Copies of this chain bind each other. A is one copy, B any other.
Amino acid sequence: MSYQTINFNKKFALFNEQWQPRVVAEMNDYQFKIVKLEGDFVWHDHKNTDETFIVLEGVLRIDFRDGKVHIAAGEMFVVPKGVEHKPHAEHEVKLLLIEPRGVPNTGHEGGDRTAENDVWI
Task: Report which A residues bind B (CB closer than 8 A).
Answer: 1-9, 24-28, 30, 32, 49-52, 54, 56, 62, 64, 66-72, 74-78, 81, 98-100
Determine the residue in chain B with the shortest Cβ distance to A69: B3
Cβ-defined partner of A5 (8 Å) among B28, B70, B100: B70
Q: Which label, helix, strand, loop or mixed, suits the secondary structure of the A interface?
A: strand
> Do A78 and B3 have beta carbons less than 8 Å apart?
no
**A75 to B98, alpha carbons, bound, how many Å?**
15
Give Cα distance in the complex from A64 to B25, angstroms: 19
Q: Which residues of B contact A66 (CB under 8 A)?
A: 1
CA distance A71 to B78 in the complex (A): 25
A28-B98 Cα distance, complex, nearest whole Å? 11
Q: Which residues of B contact A9 (CB under 8 A)?
A: 74
Q: Among B5, B24, B30, B74, which residue has its beta carbon within 8 angstroms of that of A8?
A: B74
